Structures are given as C-alpha cells and as structure tokens.
Chains A and B, each alone.
Chain A
Amino acid sequence: MAEQLEASACFTKIREAAKGIDATVIPCPLLVGKLEMVPLAILDCDDFVAAVTGIRPRAIYLAEDEFEANEAVHAELLSDLGGDDEGEGGAGTLLDLPAVRQLIRRWQKHDNSVSGYTARFMVDGVLHFWGAD
C-alpha cells in the first residue's frame, strides 16, 4: 500500500478522480438502513480512487462533516447518557456541568472546520466506501 495520506488529502484525490470521470458528485452521505444486507467493498484511499477510475460510477457521494463542539458534545451525551433532552437531568442540561463546558471551550477553536469525510458510491448492488486507511 502507498504511503498513507491525511484524510483531507485523500478526499481531495477522490474528488479529483470523480471529476476526471465526469461523475456527478452528490454532497451528502450515502446512507444505508440495514447495512448487514448490503454487499460492501471497504477500500483504502488508493483502492477507492482506483475503483472510481476503473468502474466509472455515474454518481459519487462525497460529504464533509462540519464540526461544532457544542453540537458534537450534546449529540454524544444524548446518545450515551440518554434521557429527556431538555427535561431535568436530560442531556441538554448536562452541558452546564463544568467538565463539559471546559471540554467544549477547549475544542471550539475547531468550530466550522471539517472534521470528517465520507466517500461512497454504489454500482451493481455493491456499496463501495472509503474506510480502510
């Protein structure tokens, strides 16, 4: 395998490959309801780029996740600690805890930065996705 690229550099490479084959780039994640029912090809960056240029899918789903510290922490609290979000003791109220506020403050410098990328396409019933670097 070639030297591992940073996520952003690989995403750029994939975007260029999509442009090179005139694929329609759809800027949202390709979501799957029941993944266990879908044939998957999990590819690293170079193999994904090779698949794009070799298979030449008509559409590729390329999405960037924009980071927002408050929102990311809130979502994690809600998902892991559960409860009524805004009610007493809900995840929304836990945002006021000093340790939580401190974590949010420390990471707010990355607000509005891109934190993650997804690149996927589906051909002949097989979902190809970049995910093995």
Chain B
Amino acid sequence: MEYCIFGAQTEDWYQTFDGELDLLVEELGASEEVRLRRNDAATRAVIVERAKVLAEHLLFKAPKATKAKRAYLASQLFPDSEDLDINMIVEEADNISWYLAHVPD
C-alpha cells in the first residue's frame, strides 16, 4: 500500500532546494543524454528477461544446439525482437545457462 505523507511543513531553505531540484529533474527529463540512458536501460531489461526464458527452454541445451539454432529458437519465441537484440538475448542466455550450471544451489 502506498502511504500518503503529504503536509510536511518545511524550512524556507528546503523550499528553495526543492524548487531547484524540481527544475533540475525537469531539465534532465528533457535531456537527450538521460533519454538515451533510460531507453538503453529499458532495452537491457527486456533482453535480460527474454534471455532468462530462452535459457530455461528445453531446446536451448538440446544436443547439437548451435548458436544459429539458438538464435532461430529465440526468434520464434520473441518474434518482435530485432536481429541485433536476438543476438544479445542468445549471448545473455548463454551466460545465464553457463552460470546456472556452475554455481551450486
């Protein structure tokens, strides 16, 4: 549950700080650098999420599962992913699979 903590009475200097902070956040929200960083973060999160699904798929570790076959599997599982993302998903899934195979429970 989200609690409401409105209504704090603040010192004058804090109100000045708050105004400056609001302005900065507004500027950052509109800046290209931050926008790109946030987009990268969102893309990365999707890739990791999909890589986890791929790494757990039965065919991922099937005999003779080459990189190309894994990429094909990924493209079937995630048809909306672009080629570049598919390669990143496969690479990440490889890492996840290797990690899970070598780290004790």
Residues on A close to B: CB < 8 A?
A: 6-8, 10-11, 29, 31-35, 42, 65, 67, 69, 72-73, 76-77, 80-84, 87-90, 93-94, 97, 99-100, 103, 107, 110, 113-120, 129-131, 133
- On whether the beta carbons of B24 and A103 are closer than 8 Å, the reply is yes
Q: Which of B13-21, B51-59, B77-85 contacts A (4 or more CB under 8 A)?
A: B13-21
- On whether the beta carbons of B39 and A89 are closer than 8 Å, the reply is yes
Given contacts A35-B4, A117-B9, A131-B7, contact A81 B38 (CB under 8 A): yes
Q: How far is the CA of A73 from the CA of B91 in the complex (A)?
A: 36
- On whether the beta carbons of B14 and A88 are closer than 8 Å, the reply is no
- On whether the beta carbons of A77 and B41 are closer than 8 Å, the reply is no
- On whether the beta carbons of B9 and A133 are closer than 8 Å, the reply is yes
- On whether the beta carbons of B38 and A103 are closer than 8 Å, the reply is no
Given contacts A73-B21, A94-B28, contact A117 B8 (CB under 8 A): yes
- B20 partner residues in chain A, CB cutoff 8 A: 103
- A10 partner residues in chain B, CB cutoff 8 A: 9
User: Interface of chain A, helix or strand or loop or mixed?
Assistant: mixed
Residues of B1-55 at the interface with A, using a CB-CB cut-off of 8 Å, are 1-14, 17, 20-22, 24-25, 27-29, 33-34, 36-42, 44-45
- On whether the beta carbons of A110 and B9 are closer than 8 Å, the reply is no
Closest residue on chain B to residue A65 by CB atoms: B8
- On whether the beta carbons of A31 and B24 are closer than 8 Å, the reply is no
Given contacts A7-B10, A29-B5, A131-B7, contact A84 B17 (CB under 8 A): no
Given contacts A31-B3, A35-B4, A99-B28, contact A7 B37 (CB under 8 A): no
Closest residue on chain B to residue A69 by CB atoms: B17
- On whether the beta carbons of A116 and B11 are closer than 8 Å, the reply is yes
Which 6 pairs between the two chains have the least Cβ-Cβ distance? A89-B41, A89-B37, A131-B7, A116-B8, A31-B3, A115-B14
CB distance from A127 to the nearest CB of B (A): 10
CB distance from A117 to the nearest CB of B (A): 5
- A118 partner residues in chain B, CB cutoff 8 A: 5, 7-9
- B22 partner residues in chain A, CB cutoff 8 A: 76
- On whether the beta carbons of B21 and A33 are closer than 8 Å, the reply is no
CB distance from A133 to the nearest CB of B (A): 6
- B5 partner residues in chain A, CB cutoff 8 A: 29, 31, 118
Q: Which one of B10, B33, B34 lies within 8 Å of A116 (CB-CB)?
A: B10
